[in-house]
């Protein structure tokens, strides 16, 4: 079966809808009003969401860092966006600290594009080793 690839605009719109849905769901949580079981379940679901987002943050920062490498000269994504380098571009877009941007890129470099379902780096649950 041939799977069609979504356009950038479709992917971005889907992510925007997901963010709005998560924000709305979180706004409805009355943490103090939850029973013990509900409190634990909410914590577990929030952690699952966070892991998926963390994996996407690393993958996205790694992708942008590769495209923004100064070795690309005028073709660098950083240059095209008026930034001196990949760190400046990532911090400008994400509003994270420089150390956090570097941490994400270091982790991405360690996995070097190997963020797959088997790695757990995209938020999947995998067995403890």
Residue 96 CA to residue 100 CA, distance in Å, equals: 6
pLDDT score at 96: 95
Show the tokens assigned to 79. Answer: 């240059």
Query: SS3 of 79, please?
Result: helix
pLDDT score at 128: 58
- In this prediction the pTM is 0.76
Domain boundary assignment for the chain: 37-113
pLDDT score at 90: 95
pLDDT score at 115: 47
Instruction: Burial-class residue 123 by CB neighbours within 10 Å (0-12, 13-18, 19+).
Output: middle
Per-residue pLDDT tens digits of the chain, which is 129 residues long: 678 899 999 999 999 999 999 999 999 999 999 999 999 999 999 999 999 999 999 999 999 999 999 999 999 999 999 999 999 999 999 999 999 999 998 888 877 654 444 455 555 565 655
**b/e burial code for range 13-24 (CB count within 10 A of at least 16 → b):** eeeeeeeeeeee
Alpha-carbon dihedral 121, 125, 126, 129, rounded to 10 degrees? 90
């Amino acid at each position: 079966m041939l799977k069609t690839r979504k356009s950038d605009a479709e992917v971005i719109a889907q992510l925007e809808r997901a963010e709005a849905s998560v924000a709305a769901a979180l706004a409805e949580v009355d943490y103090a009003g939850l029973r013990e079981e509900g409190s634990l379940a909410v914590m577990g679901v929030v952690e699952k969401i966070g892991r998926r987002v963390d994996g996407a943050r690393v993958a996205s920062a790694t992708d942008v860092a590769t495209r923004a490498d100064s070795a690309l000269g005028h073709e660098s994504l950083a240059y095209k966006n008026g930034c001196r380098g990949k760190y400046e571009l990532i911090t400008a877009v994400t509003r994270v600290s420089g150390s956090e941007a570097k941490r994400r890129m270091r982790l991405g470099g360690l996995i070097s594009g190997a963020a797959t379902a088997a790695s757990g780096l995209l938020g999947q649950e995998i067995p403890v080793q």
